[in-house]
Chains A and B, each alone.
Chain A
Amino acid sequence: MNRALRFLPLLVLIAFVGAVAWRLSSPADQKIPSKMIGQPVPTFALAPAIPGRQGLSSADFSSGRPRLINVFASWCVPCIAEAPLLTELKHRGLPIDAIAVRDRPEDVAAFIERNGDPFDRIGADPESQVQLALGSSGVPETFVIDGRGVVRYQHMGPIEPGDVAMIVQEWEAAK
C-alpha cells in the first residue's frame, strides 16, 4: 500500500476533529438570515391591525426614504422588552412601520396603549403570510428597508440597548 495513502484516514480524522473542536468552542449560531436581504420586499397589502388606523402595503416602501418594519405581536413578551427602544429609534428620526402577527385588534390596541406607539402604520398579518414572505421566522424581528423598497438588514430577536446604534447605522447606510 502506498505510503501517502496509509496516512489519508488519519488526515481525514484530523480535519474532522478540527472542525468539531471549532464547533464546540463557538456554539452554533442558530440564526438563519433571510434570503430576502438585497431583494425588494414581497408584494403585499395588509389591512389595519387597529380599526381606523393605516394598514401597511409594499407600496409604502417606495417613498425614497428608508424605513423600519417591526414584526411583533401583542402576545410576545420580548416585544414588550424592546418597545422602549423602538420609541427611542423613533425619537432619533427613524420612521417605523409594524406588522402585527396572529393578533386581535383589541389586543394590539391594548399593547400600544401600554407600551407606547412608535409606529406610523400597523398591518395585520393573521396567518403570518407576509411575515414568512419576508423571511422572518419569529417575533420580534426588525427589518431595514431602503427608499426603493429593498430589504437591507434583518435583526432577529428583540432589539437590545447595545443594538440601537447599529440599527441607526444600517438605516443611515440605506439612505
Chain B
Amino acid sequence: MIAEAGLAALWLAAALAALQLALACGLGGDQGRRISTVRALALSQGLLTLFAFGALIFLFLRSDMSVLLVFENSHSQKPWLYKFAGTWGNHEGSMLLWVAVLAVAGAIVALFERRLGERTLSAALGAQAALALGFFAFLLFASNPFERLSPAPLDGRGLNPLLQDPGLAFHPPTLYLGYVGLSVAFSLAVGGLVRSEVGPAIARAMRPWVLGAWILLTLGITAGSYWAYYELGWGGWWFWDPVENASLMPWLAATALLHSINVLAARGGLRAWTMMLALIAFSLSMIGTFLVRSGILTSVHAFAVDPTRGTFILCLLALYIGGALTLFAVRIAHVKEGAPFEIVSREGGLVANNLLLSAILGIVFVGTLYPLIAEASSGEKLSVGAPYFNSVASPLALLLAGLMLIAPQLKWRRDAAPILPRLAPGLLVALAVLITSFILAPQIGWLPRLGLSIGAALLPASLLPLFGRSLRRTPLAVWGMALAHFGVAVAILGMASDSAFTEEKLAVARLGDRIEIGPWLVEFRDVTPVAGPNWSALEAELRASRGLGVTILEPQSRFFAEPPTTTNEAAIDTSWNGQLYAVLGEQDGQGRWQLRLWWKPFVTLIWLGGILIALGGTLALLGRLTRERRQRILGEEAFA
C-alpha cells in the first residue's frame, strides 16, 4: 500500500510539473502566470515528491521485501542506519532523492523569492519544473523504485559490508544537495534569459543557492578525498579518477560563479558571463552524475547501467543543456552590459579569477573525456593520469592563489592607489619561505616549493581585507571571504608539504625488525589473525616511537570470502605535525612481510583547509541572508 501511494504521489507530482511548465509557456494566459498559481503548484509538487521519498525510506526501514528495490539492496539484519542510507545507495533511490531535492528547491524558491519580477520568477520556476519533469519521466518509465516483487522473498540480498560505512551513507546526499542547489541557479538564468531580465536582482536571487550548493560540494569533496585516503591504502589524497573529476568540475564552475555573481550583484557587470557559468555549473553536475552512474567512463566507482537508461538520460541531458545553451546564444545579444571598469579593480581581479578557474575546468574536462574521444576517433585505448593533471592544473592553481594575495583588497571599478604596499606583507613572507626552503630543503621540486611560499604568503594576505576597518561593523560576508581564502592557504600548505616532504618506505621486514621513517622508529612486533563478521584478517602490531611518544599502529590485510578479495586497512596515527600511515602487504615465502610506511608532514592541513573554506562559505551565506532580511524590513518600514 505504501509503495503504491508513493508511486501515485510521483505520478501526481509529474502531472503538476507538466502543468506548471505549460502555464509558464503561456498556455494558461496571464492567469496561469500569476504568482499564487505558480506557488501552489511548486509547493504541492515539492510535498508530493518528498512524500514519495519518505515512502521509500519507510519501506527500507521496515524491510518490505515485496518491493524489488528493497529486496535487492537491503537485508533485515542490517543496522537501521544502513537500512536508512540504503534508500539512496542504489540507482533508483538516488534518482528519487535527486528529483525530490529538485522539487523541494523549486518549492522554496516559489515560496520565499521576493527579489524578482512575477514573470521572471514564473519563467524560472517553469524551467525548474521542466528539469523535474524529465527526471520524473525517467523514474516512472525507466527506473521505478516502487516496483513490486511477487511472491515476496524472505529476506534481501544487500548485506554488502563494504558499503556499510557512515561516511558512505552521507557522502552521496551531500554532493546531491550541492548539485541540485545549482539547478536553481540554472533555472533562474533560464528565466532571466527568457525575459531578458539579467541584472543585479537575478544575481542576488541566485547567490544564496550558489553559496549553499558550493558549501555542500566543498564538504562533499573534502570528505570524499579523506575517504579515498584512508580506505584505499595508497597514501594519496586525490587520484584524478573520473568520479572525483565529476565532482570537481561543478565545484570549479560554482567557485567561478560565486565570484562573478558578486560583480553582477554589486556592480551590474559580467552579465553574459555569469549567466553562462550558471548554466554550465548545473550542466556539469548533470553530466557528472550521468557519467558516474552510467559506466561510460571506467572508474572504481562506476557500475553498469542498461543502455535504455543511458540513452534516456543522454537525451534528457542533450535536451536541457542544449536547450539552455541555445537560449543563451540567441538571447544574450539582448542583454545590456553593465557598468564599465578598469583592469586594476575588484572587477578586474574577479575576471582574472574566473579566467583561471575556467582554464582549470577546461583542463579537467578535456583530461576526463579524452580517453572516450580518443577511442571514438582512432580506436586507441589510453588513460589520462595524474601527471597530466598535476603538471597542467597545478601551476594555474598557484597563479590563482597568487592573485588572491592582492585582488580581495582592490576597490570596485577603479583602484588608483599603489599596489605594492598592500602586497608587501604577502611578498615578504613568500620571499622568506622561498629562501628558507632553498637553504633547509634544497632537494624539493619547484611546484611544492612555490606552493609552500604562496600558501604561506596567503595566510596573512587573506586576512588583510579585514584590516583598517571596524571589525564589529564588518559584514559577515567579508569575514567569510577572509576565512575561506585563509582555508585555501591552509589547504595549499598541506598539499605542498605532502608532496615536498612525504617519506615513503617499502620494507620487507621480519618480526622484531626496526624501521626508521621521518622522526619515527617503527618496531614490527607481531602479526595475529583477527576475524570479522564476514572477513578474516591478519593484523600487524607496529610500535612507533619518537622521543617519549609511543603509539601502536595496527594495519590489517583483510580477506573477504564472497567475492574473494583482499583489502588493506591502513593504520593512521595523527599528530600535530603530520600523519604516520602504515599498510601491511603480503608475506613472502621466508617469514618476511611487506610493510609500507609513509610519514606525511602536515598532510591533515589539506582537509582542515577544506573545512575552513566551507565554514567561510557558511559565514558568507549567513551574512547575506540576515543582511537582506534586515534591508527588506527596513525597506518595508520606509514604505509604511
Contact = CB atoms under 8 A, between A and B. Distances in A.
Contacts of B307: 24-25, 27
Interface string B283-314: 10001000000011010000000010011001
B322 interface: yes
Q: Which of A13, A17, A20, A22 has the most CB of B within 10 A?
A: A20
B633 to A, nearest CB: 39
B332 A19 contact: no
Interface size class of A (residues with CB under 8 A): 20 to 34
Interface of B: 272, 276, 279-280, 283, 287, 295-296, 298, 307, 310-311, 314, 317-318, 321-322, 325-326, 328-329, 332, 369, 372-373, 376, 381
B318 A1 contact: no
Given A10-B325, A10-B329, A24-B314, A32 B369 contact: no
A166 interface: no
A33 B375 CA distance: 14
Given A17-B318, A21-B311, 5 more contacts: A1-B272, A18-B376, A19-B369, A20-B372, A25-B307
A23 B372 contact: yes
Nearest to B273: A1
Interface of A: 1, 6-7, 9-10, 13-25, 27-28, 30, 32-33
Contact of A13 (B272, B321, B381): B321
B276 A13 contact: no
B317 A17 contact: yes
Contacts of B298: 28, 30
Nearest to B326: A10
Main secondary structure of the interface of B (DSSP, over half): helix
5 contacts: A13-B322, A19-B372, A20-B296, A21-B314, A27-B307
B276 A9 contact: yes
Nearest to B374: A19
Contacts of A21: 311, 314
Nearest to A14: B322
B296 A23 contact: yes
Contacts of A33: 381
Nearest to B330: A6
B310 A24 contact: yes
Contacts of B321: 13
Nearest to B272: A1
Given A1-B332, A9-B276, A32-B381, A23 B322 contact: no
B314 A17 contact: yes
Nearest to A30: B298
A27 to B, nearest CB: 7
Q: Which of A14, A23, A32 has the most CB of B within 10 A?
A: A23
Q: Which 8 residue pairs across A and B have the least CB separation, nearest first?
A: A6-B329, A10-B325, A22-B376, A17-B318, A24-B310, A9-B325, A1-B272, A19-B376
Contacts of A16: 287, 369
